[in-house]
Structure 1
Amino acid sequence: MRARRALRTTVSFLTSRVEAPDEDDWKKLRKALLYLKRNPGLPLILEASDLSLINWYVDASFAVHPDYKSHTGGMMTLGKSGRGAVMDICAKQRSNATSSTQTELYGVDQTMPKMIWAKHFLEAQGFETRTVLHQDNTSTIRLEVNGKKSSGQRTRHLHIKYFFVTDQLKEGWLSVQYCPTAEMNGDLNTKPLQGELWRKFMGRAQNCSPDLPPD
């Protein structure tokens, strides 16, 4: 999806509403247009203190679309600062989920092609890389690390394809790390953030201080 990062979540939602828009959708679109008018440009400052360290912050919002499908959001940064998003993802999930744990596992599966591509690209430039997947759901982390062995009554139905991440973890190029929700950069692409939270995560994504549109 081609859209300015500040509007990714809004545009991603509105493009799923073109067949049956309502008054609330028009208000969202109008607010987005006003933002563009008042903020014609916001620089993206890339920061790569360590080109061998790839960080992916992947999150998901449960059942936020009108058809009760969930939404995946993620951000990739280089180095330890967690600032200056080189790549990201903001997309509606293709399948319905029964829990937030399942939703986040779907989100990782949806992001995995980008994660592997980024690894291969940097290695082709001559860098030895390691990739860290940051997640804020401990139940999802257990499923990712242990695979089907961690499935209980609520997750035993999950298709084996969603455990592709488990194989990648075993290969050693990928590791998973718990990230507190308050520090989850992926929230920028999954939730309609406002105020200080929006400034915080938008500032990290662009690696500069964003200006909020006036009321």
Structure 2
Amino acid sequence: RNVKQIMKYLISSKNEGIQYKWDGSADYKLTAYCDSDFAGDVETRKSTTGYVIYFCGGPISWCSRKQPIVSLSSTEAEYIAAADCVKELLFLKSLIEELINTKVSKTLNVDNQSAIQLMKSGQFNRRSKHIDVRFHFLCEKVREGVLEVKYCPTNNQIADIFTKALGKQKFNVFKELLLCKI
């Protein structure tokens, strides 16, 4: 049954692809959307990280994977997802700057205001002090101004497609933001 569904999807999506557009400006931007589903795995209670990174109007990197640890809050799960996304964002920035020999700006869109506050302030309290040190480079990069962090309303969070099952309408909206008709 699952193979049948996959084949049906592949046949129906054979005319879809990724389109990149350069508007002619000298302003190159990497725009990332990251999200997590808090404790989404019912067996392990681990969260799923999902992100997509756009360049020149199309996605160039995306990910959906289980987080390595069990998060104690949605803020922690989002923070871990953001750290994972920023590692990829910084790698892509270095790669693109090497190829085109010009600076690339970076924006990270997150739908959890508590996680954004934690990234910007770097101040940990009793509910967040347990977060593993390996994720704290994120605060350092935000404080250094290496990237801009913005709030993205949940309804506009494209990375949702990589973290949880969506209704047909929302799935199709996000799919159209990732793919185009060819």
TM-score tier after normalising by the smaller chain length: 0.7 to 0.9
Q: 1:48 to 1:193 in 2, by over 3 A?
A: farther
- Indicate the residue corresponding to 1:58 in structure 2: 34
TM-score where L is the length of structure 2: 0.88
Of 167, 176, 185, the residue aligned with 2:158 is 185
Residue 182 of structure 1 and its aligned partner are, at CA, apart by 0.8
| Amino acid paired to 1:139 | S
- Indicate the residue corresponding to 1:106 in structure 2: 80
Residue 44 of structure 1 and its aligned partner are, at CA, apart by 1.3
- Indicate the residue corresponding to 2:50 in structure 1: 73
Of 120, 126, 144, the residue aligned with 2:119 is 144
Residue 30 of structure 1 and its aligned partner are, at CA, apart by 4.8
- Indicate the residue corresponding to 1:42 in structure 2: 16
Q: Secondary structure at the match of 1:86?
A: strand
Residue 76 of structure 1 and its aligned partner are, at CA, apart by 0.9
User: Does the 8 A contact of 1:61 with 1:103 survive in 2?
Assistant: yes
Residue 173 of structure 1 and its aligned partner are, at CA, apart by 2.2
TM-score where L is the length of structure 1: 0.75
Residue 29 of structure 1 and its aligned partner are, at CA, apart by 5.5
Residue 61 of structure 1 and its aligned partner are, at CA, apart by 0.6
- Indicate the residue corresponding to 2:140 in structure 1: 167
Moved more, 117-126 or 49-58: 49-58
Of 82, 95, 98, the residue aligned with 1:121 is 95
* Percent of residue pairs bearing the same amino acid type: 24
- Indicate the residue corresponding to 1:213 in structure 2: none
Q: Give 5+ residue unaligned stretches, structure 2.
A: none
Aligned residues: 178
- Indicate the residue corresponding to 1:195 in structure 2: 168
Residue 41 of structure 1 and its aligned partner are, at CA, apart by 4.4
User: Does the 8 A contact of 1:199 with 1:209 survive in 2?
Assistant: no
| Amino acid paired to 2:166 | L
User: Does the 8 A contact of 2:38 with 2:73 survive in 1?
Assistant: yes
- Indicate the residue corresponding to 1:158 in structure 2: 131
RMSD value over aligned CA atoms?
A: 2.0
Residue 113 of structure 1 and its aligned partner are, at CA, apart by 2.2
Higher strand share: 2
Residue 28 of structure 1 and its aligned partner are, at CA, apart by 5.3
Residue 168 of structure 1 and its aligned partner are, at CA, apart by 0.9
Distance (whole Å) between structure 1 residues aligned to residue 2 and residue 163 of structure 2: 15
Q: Give 5+ residue unaligned stretches, structure 1.
A: 1-26, 211-215
Distance (whole Å) between structure 2 residues aligned to residue 132 and residue 141 of structure 1: 13
Q: 1:58 to 1:32 in 2, by over 3 A?
A: same
User: Does the 8 A contact of 1:46 with 1:86 survive in 2?
Assistant: no
Distance (whole Å) between structure 1 residues aligned to residue 40 and residue 2 of structure 2: 15
